[in-house]
Chain A
Amino acid sequence: MAPPQPATVVPDGQESATSGAGTPGTARAKLPRRRRSWVGWRFVGPFLAVFALVFLAPIVYSIYLSFFRNRLVGGNSFVGLDNYQQVLADPQFWSGVGRVSLFLVVQVPVMLFLALLVALAVDSGRLYGRNFFRLAVFLPYAVPAVVATLMWGFMYGTRFGLVGNINEALGITLPDPLSPEWVLASIGNIVTWEFIGYNMLIFYSALQVIPRSLYESAEIDGASQLRVITSIKLPALRGALMIATIFSIIGSFQLFNEPSILQKLVPNAITTDFTPNLYAYSLSFSGQQYNSSATVAIVMGVITMIVAYVVQLRGMRKDG
């Protein structure tokens, strides 16, 4: 069996764990108590089997792998928690974590703010060509990340790309978006472009369920548009904002596609440890260090869970 790709597996599993945890239990509790009946299990059985195979098994296998070390010289041996010790003390790993954290702190607020702005604009009903606008903003999400990154990669080019053309036409020298100093910001720009539409849709659908009567009473009370936004729309968006934030946190920590593709264009600016996922990937695929790779994936999964959980807790406290 080919080794699993821990890099993508762990966060996926954790995502489904958060969304699927409560529901089956509560549904079952409502059933009248009867003799031992297997009907229910037969219904969830197929799901559970697939769930076990594609979600749990890879995670368990990664954890299993993380307790071993397979070396070119000396072969495979059980090393207990050594790999964890090594990863936690690995400056390359932490430089990746630092980078995605910076990305999270800067890119996510910018993206969510813009998405919020667009959602409010579309929802205001004052926008000309609303449907076209909504579709146009959403369209980048429909472009596969690989294609989007390649497209932006060509635009960023200072020799043959759009940036190069601008430099030539205006006789200026813009900073090279693909230089080591700027490449993270450039990736942030690509990701923002890709996901504004998606987040806008989350916000927009939350705005759609606000009862119209609230707006009517606001109007009767003589509330301004700004007041309507701050007192009605924004409070109603809190849940959606929370979901969008958590998705974005997971997305940031999982950053892989964009740097991985840009790496082929600028191998010197994007190192193999640029993001934790990229690091796990190179450990596994160019270094055959499946054990370290699995460990990185697990540690990163745990960090993601903790951060997402803390954010969720804070959000819920505000709710209450």
Chain B
Amino acid sequence: MIRQRRRSVFTALAGALALVLAACGSGGSDSGTQEQLSAQDVQAALEAGGTIKVWAWEPTLKEVVTGFQQKYPKVKVELVNAGTGDKQYTALQNAIAAGSGVPDVAQVEYYALPQFALAKSMTDLKAFEADKFEGTFTPGPWTSVHAGEGIYGLPMDSGPMALFYNKEVFDKHGIQVPATWDEYVAAARKLHAADPKAYITSDTGDAGFTTSMIWQAGGKPYQVDGTNVKIDFADEGSQRFTTMWQQLISEKLVSPVNGWSDQWYQGLADGSIATLVIGAWMPANLQSGVAAGAGKWRVAPMPQWEAGGKATSENGGSGLSIPTAGANKALAYAFVKYATTEEGVKTRVDGGAFPATTAELTSQEFLNAEFPYFGGQKANEVLSQAAQNVVGGWSYLPFQVYANSVFNDTAGKAYVSGTTLSDGLKAWQESSAKYGKDQGFTVN
């Protein structure tokens, strides 16, 4: 009898489980036919009003939302910070998999966009006539929001690389601003010899930095054609970078401090980290994070592989995309356009962001802005120039988010053991290729 009762309870439990499982399983993504959207539709949606949810962490968007709501009083925008970078992508991917709670607009970095595009998680904005913005944006970011034939977002900011350096430290030790990477290595040696506590820069293995450096050196380690992927870190550009950077690692000329840590900010402030080769979005971060460095820092063009060259690459930067599962795409698109091509751009530039639009990048007001933080230097002249000279033809992996997460497992070994950076990158290549194959890509 007891056994029987037990069985009935288990039947009930099994029933409950079945319900739970059914609930879990029902989140299939339905990528139906692509809907079209014209300018009139967007205008109509703005007049009708409604509420949209935006997931983004970029600080200047707050002002943009305020401006947008003033212009279109019937529309309400909920700006949610669902985490920065990876954290937000995880939340977003979970929401998309579950089929509920998906925002109408999401901020996605360029390197992560192909992954979302491939899974058809983001709307192809070509159907919304987004291709007319071709000339509006600078080439780097504009290429970055493309995946295959589609346009999966509008560029919000960009990060052409430049050399940020501490002039006070350079002057003290009589170091010239390096124009080439050879000069950079020489400067690193001279600085560290003069002051053993000072380093030219810090690096503990950063996938984004490494890929951007290879990009500038003309390397194309990732070749992506639909689901055919080729990964090759033995190409000339990659080798150029590893040969140069290996000297800095082997001779312990880079500070072993993790980027964005408290020690890193301290190092930038006290001169023990003398330069940063980083994206053009850095000034706002320096101003807020390294207040003590005000007046000491300057901006110079990125060091070159060939004397007299001008090549740069993108480092970071993100766009605004519209998830396929979003509810109100017309309003979402109106907001994305406002923030990236209309009044929102000025709001963001005033807030210290680095734009991706040609008009702002070439406007006299932008170029002539003097930065008190950089000792009155017109820093945007350098940065804007960098934006024009991004090397073309680069692409990220359609699973770059994962690849970057295992960078330190593999290439990171070069920073803590006898492994060379070149071998580290080879291991990274293998690890990325394995994941790609697991995910159904053709990798070779």
A contact residues vs B (CB 8 Å cutoff)? 1-3, 28-29, 33, 36, 41, 48-49, 52-53, 56-57, 60-61, 64, 71-74, 159-160, 179-180, 264-265, 267-269, 271-273, 282, 285-289, 292
Contacts and interface: CB of A to CB of B under 8 A. Distances in A.
A292 B434 CA distance: 14
A36 B439 CA distance: 54
B412 interface: yes
B313 to A, nearest CB: 23
Interface string B251-269: 0000011100101000000
B13 A48 contact: yes
A154 to B, nearest CB: 10
B293 interface: no
B97 interface: yes
A166 to B, nearest CB: 18
A49 B2 CA distance: 19
Contact of A268 (B1, B9, B16, B205): B205
B17 A60 contact: yes
B374 to A, nearest CB: 28
Most chain B beta carbons < 10 A, residue from A41, A52, A160, A269 = A52
B19 to A, nearest CB: 9
Given A159-B263, A285-B90, A286-B405, A71 B440 contact: yes
B412 A267 contact: yes
A96 B433 CA distance: 21
Interface in B176-217: 204-205
A142 to B, nearest CB: 26
A62 to B, nearest CB: 11
Contacts of A273: 409
Contacts of A72: 115, 118-119, 398-399, 439-441
A78 to B, nearest CB: 12
Interface of B: 1-2, 5, 9, 13, 16-17, 20-21, 23-24, 27, 86, 90, 93-94, 97-98, 115, 118-119, 204-205, 227, 256-258, 261, 263, 398-399, 401-402, 405-406, 408-409, 412-413, 415-417, 435, 438-441
Contact of B5 (A41, A267, A268): A41
A56 B17 contact: yes
Nearest to A183: B416
B440 A74 contact: yes
A286 B86 contact: yes
Nearest to B263: A160
Given A74-B440, A286-B405, A180 B13 contact: no
A284 B295 CA distance: 45
B416 A268 contact: yes
Contacts of A287: 402, 405, 435
Contacts of B17: 52, 56-57, 60
Contacts of B94: 2-3
Contact of B408 (A36, A57, A271, A292): A271
A289 B438 contact: yes
A268 B435 CA distance: 20
B13 A267 contact: no
B243 to A, nearest CB: 21
A36 B6 CA distance: 12
Contact of A53 (B16, B256, B401, B440): B16
Given A56-B17, A71-B440, A160-B263, A286 B401 contact: yes
Nearest to B90: A285
Contacts of A64: 21
A1 B98 contact: yes
Contacts of B435: 287
B205 A57 contact: no
Contacts of A288: 93, 402
Nearest to B442: A73
A73 B402 contact: no
B439 A268 contact: no
A36 B2 CA distance: 9
Contact of B24 (A1, A56, A264, A286): A1
A265 B259 CA distance: 10
A25 to B, nearest CB: 8
Given A53-B16, A61-B21, A72-B399, A268 B440 contact: no
A73 B415 contact: no
B84 to A, nearest CB: 14
Chain A to chain B: the 6 pairs with minimum beta-carbon distance, closest first: A73-B440, A268-B412, A286-B405, A267-B408, A71-B440, A74-B440
Contacts of A160: 263
Contacts of B441: 72-73
Contacts of A61: 20-21, 24
Nearest to B13: A52
Among B13, B23, B413, the most chain A Cβ lie within 10 Å of the Cβ of B13
A179 B415 CA distance: 11
A282 B16 contact: no
A271 B427 CA distance: 13
Contacts of B399: 72
Contacts of A286: 86, 90, 401-402, 405-406
B438 A71 contact: yes
A282 B405 CA distance: 8
A294 to B, nearest CB: 12
A159 B257 contact: yes
Nearest to B91: A2
Contacts of A33: 1
A267 B205 contact: yes
Nearest to B266: A160
Contacts of A41: 5, 9
A159 B440 CA distance: 44
B425 to A, nearest CB: 14
Given A180-B416, A267-B412, A49 B16 contact: yes
B402 A268 contact: no
A2 B102 CA distance: 12
B16 A52 contact: yes
Given A28-B2, A272-B409, 10 more contacts: A36-B1, A36-B5, A53-B16, A57-B21, A71-B438, A72-B440, A267-B204, A267-B205, A267-B408, A285-B90
A53 B405 contact: no
Contacts of A269: 416
A267 B23 CA distance: 37
A110 B438 CA distance: 41
Given A268-B205, A287-B402, A71 B416 contact: no
Contacts of A49: 16
B89 to A, nearest CB: 9
